Structure 1
Amino acid sequence: MEDSNESTIGHSATLLCGKSWTAYIGITIVALLLFFGLLPLAFNFNQMAAAGVLAVSALLVGYRVLLIRSYQLYYDDVGVWLSSGILPWSKGVAGVKWRDMDEASYVPNFLSWLCKSYTIRIGHRFTKSSEIVLTGMARGKDAVATLNGHHQELIRRGAIA
Structure 2
Amino acid sequence: MDQDNAPNVGSDAVNLGGKSWTAYLGFALVAIIIVPIAVALAWRVSLGLGLTILFFVLVILTYQVLEIRSYQLYYDDVGIWLFSGILPWKKGVVGVKWRDLDEAIYFQTFWSWLFKSYSMRIGHRFTKSSEILLSHMARGHESVQKINEQHQQLVRENALH
TM-score, normalising length from structure 2?
Answer: 0.93
For the pair 1:88 / 2:88, whether they are aligned, the reply is yes
Work out the CA distance in 2 between the residues paired with 1:67 and 1:27: 12
What RMSD over aligned residues (CA atoms) do the two structures have, in Å? 1.2
Work out the CA distance in 1 between the residues paired with 2:44 and 2:8: 45
Alignment map for 1:91-110 (pairs within 5 Å)? 91-110=91-110
For the pair 1:117 / 2:117, whether they are aligned, the reply is yes
Contact 1:16 1:75 in 2 (8 A): yes
User: CA offsets per residue over residues 81-130 of structure 1, 9 Å max, x none?
Assistant: 00000001110100000000000000011111001000000000001000
Work out the CA distance in 1 between the residues paired with 2:8 and 2:117: 23
Could you tell me which residue of structure 1 aligns to residue 22 of structure 2? 22
Work out the CA distance in 2 between the residues paired with 1:79 and 1:156: 16
Could you tell me which residue of structure 1 aligns to residue 130 of structure 2? 130
Could you tell me which residue of structure 2 aligns to residue 48 of structure 1? 48
**Residue 30 of structure 1: how far off its partner (Å):** 2.0
Contact 1:123 1:132 in 2 (8 A): yes
Could you tell me which residue of structure 2 aligns to residue 4 of structure 1? none
Work out the CA distance in 2 between the residues paired with 1:72 and 1:34: 30
Could you tell me which residue of structure 1 aligns to residue 31 of structure 2? 31
Work out the CA distance in 1 between the residues paired with 2:58 and 2:111: 30
**Residue 9 of structure 1: how far off its partner (Å):** 2.0
For the pair 1:75 / 2:75, whether they are aligned, the reply is yes
**Residue 35 of structure 1: how far off its partner (Å):** 3.5
Work out the CA distance in 2 between the residues paired with 1:10 and 1:33: 42
User: CA offsets per residue over residues 43-98 of structure 1, 9 Å max, x none?
Assistant: 11011001111110000000000000000000001000000000011101000000
Work out the CA distance in 2 between the residues paired with 1:35 and 1:58: 10
TM-score, normalising length from structure 1?
Answer: 0.93
Contact 1:27 1:65 in 2 (8 A): no
Work out the CA distance in 2 between the residues paired with 1:64 and 1:141: 25
> Match of 1:11, SS?
coil
Work out the CA distance in 2 between the residues paired with 1:9 and 1:59: 28
Unaligned runs of 5+ in 1: 1-6
Work out the CA distance in 2 between the residues paired with 1:104 and 1:139: 14
Could you tell me which residue of structure 2 aligns to residue 152 of structure 1? 152
